[in-house]
Structure 1
């Protein structure tokens, strides 16, 4: 619900106040394994994936999760990543509370330190027709980490619409 600067600041606050010492130590160790020399030896896309996999404590309930399998066989260009991130440089959520009256479901994981659920705190009060759920054993990808709980929430929500 916020631009990149506010997302980064919010994620840093959430990390500092909510991540366990063990999770923080795991992130530090994993980042030390991919030093600058190693990262410089990779193509930009491979370096991006290596960083994402190393940063598991930021994205996953299990801080040692190996997400490399998600990237196997995937091709993408860094220009697309930069363009996507560029969209949110000056993002401002403008939502007309009178229309449209489209229902929205937001499902987030409590262990998402990259885009924490707490970023929605101020925005939710001014949004209508929003159902907001936080799953307690998920990070950035609750539909993958807690598929049964996610499916149940989604199906119940769809049934109510």
Structure 2
């Protein structure tokens, strides 16, 4: 597993309310808009993929520097989705695929429902149907029943050190948690993700609201009939952070065109953990030679 960084890029930012939303564009080919952090996510996609696709990484408000004090009204889900549209206009994009990893998968899906004329494909990576108590309880049960003792021992050790991390860097609480959750996040349970997070801004109130409330209550079936793009759902066998893959079964019939792919040697981030296979699956799904940007 390698971490990709330093690829030739176009870098810029867009002011949205009190936030400066960064973007980073790398590669050539069919455009793929990747929602999340313009610093973190370029490190998780392969260099080879940039030879086939134009990867457009954009911040949302959870990862963007705030130039002024922000309020609850500045961090709602609708505002985040509006920011994606602002960025589309700013970058002059007309037709593209949109990809979201983890909770960002909901951003990708909901944006595609609102702007079907601009979205050719939707890719959701490591995303559960919701972050509801019911779904997360099933994730906990999967962990208890299937995780190896060695994996659980690593998890217990990492969790014992989390409180000291947060005390030392309270503004990086969300980042520290995700790094310490490695045994539930990665196929290789002792993988250290610190390098992926280096230099990444994290606004804790945004994540508390979106992950703790919005994605807890989200109903992905709502307005699904407005979706015209095909959807790829990429899941990792060793992902214990989100609901088990089986929880998607009751939603499959609600999608007009859904492709599900399981990555057997991945956890939460198959684009990094099994990059060659992920690239193959993604390119086959997008079929970029037949899509006009």
Q: Please classify the TM superposition score into its range, dividing by the shorter chain length.
A: 0.7 to 0.9
Match of 1:7 among 135, 142, 152: 135
Consecutive unaligned residues in structure 2, runs of 5 or more: 1-128
Cα distance 1:46–1:103, how it changes in 2: closer, same or farther (>3 A)?
Answer: same
Other-structure match for 1:66: 192
TM-score normalised over the length of structure 1? 0.87
| Superposed CA offset, 1:65-106 (max 9, x none) | 000111101112111211221211311121567654421001
Whether the aligned pair in 1 keeps the contact of 2:184 and 2:241 (CA below 8 Å) is yes
Cα distance 1:96–1:51, how it changes in 2: closer, same or farther (>3 A)?
Answer: closer
Other-structure match for 1:87: 214
Residue 147 of structure 1: how far off its partner (Å)? 0.9
Other-structure match for 1:107: 234
Residue 146 of structure 1: how far off its partner (Å)? 0.8
Match of 2:262 among 134, 150, 161: 134
Matched, 1:119 2:250: no
Whether the aligned pair in 2 keeps the contact of 1:60 and 1:138 (CA below 8 Å) is yes
Higher relative contact order by CA 8 Å / sep ≥ 6: 1 or 2?
1
Consecutive unaligned residues in structure 1, runs of 5 or more: none
Cα distance between partner residues in 2 of 1:3 and 1:50: 20
Other-structure match for 2:183: 57
TM-score normalised over the length of structure 2? 0.50
Whether the aligned pair in 1 keeps the contact of 2:172 and 2:202 (CA below 8 Å) is no
Greater per-residue strand proportion: 2
Cα distance 1:53–1:93, how it changes in 2: closer, same or farther (>3 A)?
Answer: same
